[in-house]
């Protein structure tokens, strides 16, 4: 009777451990994708410097455009006046 109990217990243990064994086998498999990368473009570890995310942008689109236009005008004016003065 003791022996039968032991066999039943062992069998039950094996049956109950099957899902865990299968899971362990899945977890321990590293050969699904065997391809060899040529560049890190598509890999992890492509660090983006802290604080550079686009969402942290400080100016709205319109503000930036205004700054761009203003700066272009200022620089163009400076260049124009300097060159004009030199011609004189």
Partner 1 sequence: MNKAFHILSAQNGFAAILVLAAILLGFMAPKAAVNVDEQLHYPHAKKVVNWYFTLGEDRSCLDTPKSNLKYYGQSVDNLTALINRVFSIENEFLLRHYAGAFFFWLLLLFSGMIARKVTGSYQVATITVLTLLLMPRLFGQAFGNLKDIPFATGYTAGVFMIIKFLKEMPRPRWRTAVFLGLAIAFTVSVRAGGFILFGYLALCIFTFLFWKPFYLNSVSTKPVFVRLTGQVTVILFIGYFAGLLFWPFALQNVFSHPLESLNLMEHYSVNIRQIFEGELTWSAQLPWYYVPKWLLISTPEFIMVGLLFSLFFVVREFIDRKYSCENCLYTIFILFVFVFPVVYVIAIGSNLYSGIRQMLFVLPFVGILAAIGIWKFVKWLAGNNKKLFFPSITILIALAFLPVKHQAATFPAGYVYFNSISGGNKKAWSNYEYDYYFHGIKQPADYLINLAGNDDIKVVMNCNLTNYFSTYPNIEVGYSRYLERSSTDWDYAIFGINYIHPHLLKNYKWQTTEVIKTFYHKGNPLAVVLKRVDKNDFYGIEAVEKGNFTEGQELIKSSLQNNLNNVWLYVQLAKANLLAGNASEFKKYLNEGKTIHPFYEPLFMLEAQYYYNEGQYVKSMNILKELVEINPLYPNAQALKNDIENKKLH
The rounded distance, in Å, linking the Cα atoms of 42 and 10 is 48
CA separation for the pair 69, 63 (Å, rounded)? 10
User: Of 16 and 34, which CB lies nearer to partner 1 in the complex structure?
Assistant: 34
Q: Which of 18, 26, 39, 88 binds partner 1 (CB under 8 A)?
A: 39
In whole angstroms, what is the distance from residue 21 CA to residue 25 CA?
A: 6
Residue that has been written with the tokens 């200022």 in this structure: 74
Distance of alpha carbon 50 from alpha carbon 68, whole angstroms:
26
79 scored as a contact of partner 1 (CB under 8 A):
yes
| Interface with partner 1 (CB under 8 A), residue from 5, 20, 43, 88 | 43
Residues that bind partner 1 (CB under 8 A): 27-31, 33-43, 45-49, 51-52, 54, 56-62, 64-65, 67-68, 71-72, 75, 78-79, 82-83, 85-86
């Amino acid at each position: 009777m003791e022996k039968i109990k032991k066999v039943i217990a062992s069998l039950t243990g094996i049956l109950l451990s099957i899902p865990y064994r299968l899971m362990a086998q899945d977890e321990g498999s590293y050969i699904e994708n065997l391809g060899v990368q040529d560049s890190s473009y598509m890999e992890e570890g492509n660090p983006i410097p802290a604080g550079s995310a686009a969402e942290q942008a400080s100016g709205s689109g319109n503000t930036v455009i205004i700054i761009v236009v203003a700066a272009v005008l200022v620089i163009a004016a400076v260049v124009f006046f300097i060159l004009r003065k030199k011609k004189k």
